[in-house]
C-alpha cells in the first residue's frame, strides 16, 4: 500500500526515530485514520510507513517538526542554514532521497553508538517516563497479578487467599457483567465495595478459576492521552477438572497519585460464555473478539 521507495522508507524511518512516543502514536492515528491500533513505537512506525502514499506528504505533516528534518539532514552531512523554513528542508530532503545519496543506516548506528544503554532517547529527558512506558507490558503484569489474586480466593485450590478487596478499585468503579450460559444475563454494579464483592463471588462462591490467555492474540492494551489504560484479555473458565467456557474482560486502569501512582481499576467489562453457548467451538486458547475500534471507543 505504501508508495515509498526503499531510500525514502529508510529516510522516513530515521526521521520517525527522532520523534517522541506521544507524537509517533498520534501521527499513526492521523495517517491510518485510527483504523489501526498500535501497541508500541515499532508498530506505530510500521503503520505510518505502510499508510503513507508519498514521502512529501509525510514530511509536510504537522507532527514532523521542522527541527526533526533539520537534525536528520545534519546527520546525513547536508548543512542547511539554521533559519531555513520547513518547506525548504522538505525540498532538500526529497532531493537527497531522489539522488540516492542518503546514508540509510547511518542515523540508526549513530544513535546506538552515542546513547548509553540506560538512556531512553537523546535530549528528551522530559520524555523518559513516556518512552519507557509500554501499555502491553503493563497489561501482562496487571493480568498476572489480578488473576492470581482473584483465583487465590477459590478455596478448592487450597491456596492462601491473597489480599483481595475494594482498595484495588476506584470508589466509582463500574462492573458490567454479561453471561451467556443457556440464557443471557446482564448485571451492573457500581462502587468499589459492590464490584469487588461480585468479582469475589465468581471464585469464592461459584468456585470458578479464570485462566487468562496472555499470548499476543489473547491480550491487547491501549493507552489514551489522558492516562487511561485499557487492558483487554481473553481466557478460559474452569471448575475443578472441567472447562466451563470462555471469558473476555476489559479493564480500564488509571494511576492513583495519592497512592504512589499505583494503578487502580476504573471499570471492568466481563463477558462470559458457557460451553453450551459456544456451540462446540475450539476451547484451547481463546482469542479476543474485540477489535481495535471498539477499544478506541472505550478510551474516548
Helices 6-16, 66-75: inter-axial angle, 10-degree rounding? 120
Q: What is the pLDDT of residue 287?
A: 63
CA 245 to chain centre: 27
The CA distance from 104 to 72, in Å, is: 11
Task: Give me the DSSP letters along 128-149.
Answer: HHHHT--HHHHHHHHHHHHHHH
What does the pLDDT average to over 71-100?
A: 88
Question: Smallest Cα–Cα separation from 209: which of 250, 166, 247?
Answer: 247
The CA distance from 123 to 290, in Å, is: 38
Question: Any idea where the domains of the chain sit in the sequence?
Answer: 6-130, 135-299
Residue 32: pLDDT band with limits 50, 70, 90? confident
Please write the tens of the pLDDT for every residue from 2-30: 578 889 999 999 999 999 999 999 999 99
154 vs 35: which has the higher pLDDT: 154
Say whether pLDDT at 141 is over 70.
yes
Residue 130: pLDDT band with limits 50, 70, 90? very low
Please write the tens of the pLDDT for every residue from 221-236: 888 777 888 899 999 9
Please write the tens of the pLDDT for every residue from 37-84: 888 899 999 889 988 888 999 999 999 999 899 989 988 888 888 788
The answer for residues whose C-beta is within 8 angstroms of residue 198's C-beta and 6 or more apart is: 175, 177, 187, 189
Q: What is the pLDDT of residue 107?
A: 40
What does the pLDDT average to over 105-131?
A: 36
What does the pLDDT average to over 243-268?
A: 87
Q: What is the pLDDT of residue 269?
A: 93
Mean predicted lDDT score pLDDT of the chain = 81
Q: Which CATH number fits domain 135-299: 3.40.250.10, 3.10.450.50, 3.40.50.150, 3.40.50.1820?
A: 3.10.450.50
pTM of the predicted protein model: 0.53
**Which H/E stretch holds residue 85?**
none
Say whether pLDDT at 97 is over 60.
yes
Say whether pLDDT at 169 is over 70.
yes
What does the pLDDT average to over 159-182?
A: 89
Amino acid at each position: 500500500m505504501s508508495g515509498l521507495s526503499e531510500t525514502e522508507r529508510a529516510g522516513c524511518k530515521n526521521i520517525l526515530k527522532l520523534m517522541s512516543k506521544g507524537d509517533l502514536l498520534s501521527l499513526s492515528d492521523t495517517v491510518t485514520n485510527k483504523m489501526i491500533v498500535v501497541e508500541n513505537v515499532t508498530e506505530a512506525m510500521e503503520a505510518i510507513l505502510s499508510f503513507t502514499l508519498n514521502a512529501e506528504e509525510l514530511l509536510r505533516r504537522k507532527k514532523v517538526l521542522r527541527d526533526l528534518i533539520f537534525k536528520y539532514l545534519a546527520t546525513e552531512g547536508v548543512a542547511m542554514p539554521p533559519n531555513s523554513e520547513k518547506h525548504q528542508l522538505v525540498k532538500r530532503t526529497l532531493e537527497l532521497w531522489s539522488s540516492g545519496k542518503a546514508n540509510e543506516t547511518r542515523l540508526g548506528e549513530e544513535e546506538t553508538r552515542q546513547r548509553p544503554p540506560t538512556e531512553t532517547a537523546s535530549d528528551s529527558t522530559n520524555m523518559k517516563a513516556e518512552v519507557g512506558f509500554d501499555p502491553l507490558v503493563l497489561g501482562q503484569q496487571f493480568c498476572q497479578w489480578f488473576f492470581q489474586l482473584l483465583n487465590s480466593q477459590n478455596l478448592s485450590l487450597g491456596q492462601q487467599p491473597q489480599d483481595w478487596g475494594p482498595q484495588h478499585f476506584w470508589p466509582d468503579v463500574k462492573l458490567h457483567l454479561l453471561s451467556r450460559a443457556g440464557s443471557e444475563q446482564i448485571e451492573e454494579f457500581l462502587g468499589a465495595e459492590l464490584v469487588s464483592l461480585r468479582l469475589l463471588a465468581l471464585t469464592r462462591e461459584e468456585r470458578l478459576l479464570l485462566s487468562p490467555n496472555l499470548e499476543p492474540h489473547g491480550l491487547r492494551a491501549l493507552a489514551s492521552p489522558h492516562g487511561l489504560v485499557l487492558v483487554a484479555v481473553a481466557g478460559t473458565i474452569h471448575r475443578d477438572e472441567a472447562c466451563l467456557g470462555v471469558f473476555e474482560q476489559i479493564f480500564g486502569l488509571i494511576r492513583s497519585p495519592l497512592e504512589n501512582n499505583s494503578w487502580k481499576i476504573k471499570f471492568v467489562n466481563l463477558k462470559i460464555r458457557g460451553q453450551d453457548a459456544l456451540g462446540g467451538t475450539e476451547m484451547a486458547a481463546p482469542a479476543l473478539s474485540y477489535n481495535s475500534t471498539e477499544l478506541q471507543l472505550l478510551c474516548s
